[in-house]
């Protein structure tokens, strides 16, 4: 049964999308974090470029229908395994095939 409940569509699948997008944009996450650590209170002004690059990367994934379908398939697989075993698996880190 692949019918999705409201909480699955609006909360659980978007959570997988956020986690995977952060992993796929990890270079931009690291650049923004490093900039913030180095500039302290002035980060709002000084890290604007890094923040924009990070947002653009994340939004690119969030708005990609094929990425949503990929994450939905991952969620359905996890849900199927949980229903079969009763054991919730910890989500593994996604590593792109590079």
For 26-81, the pLDDT digits (tens) are 999 999 999 999 988 888 889 999 999 999 999 999 999 999 999 999 999 999 99
Q: Does 91 have pLDDT greater than 90? A: no
* pTM higher than 0.85: no
HEC per residue, the chain:
CCCCCHHHHHHHHHHHHHHHHHHHCHHHHHHHHHHHHHHHHHHHHHCHHHHHHHHHHHHHHHCCHHHHHHHHHHHHHHHHHHHHHCCCCCCCCCCCCC
Query: What is the predicted pLDDT for the residue at 50?
Result: 96
Q: Does 98 have pLDDT greater than 50? A: no
Q: Does 13 have pLDDT greater than 50? A: yes
Query: What is the predicted pLDDT for the residue at 44?
Result: 82
């Amino acid at each position: 049964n692949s019918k999705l409940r409201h909480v699955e569509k609006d909360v659980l699948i978007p959570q997988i999308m956020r986690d995977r997008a952060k992993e796929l944009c990890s270079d931009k996450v690291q650049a923004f974090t490093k900039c913030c650590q180095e500039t302290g209170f002035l980060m709002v002004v000084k890290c604007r470029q890094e923040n924009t690059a990070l947002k653009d990367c994340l939004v690119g994934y969030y708005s990609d229908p094929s990425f949503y379908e990929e994450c939905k398939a991952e969620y359905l697989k996890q849900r199927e395994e949980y229903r079969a075993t009763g054991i919730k698996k910890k989500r593994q880190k996604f590593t792109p095939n590079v």
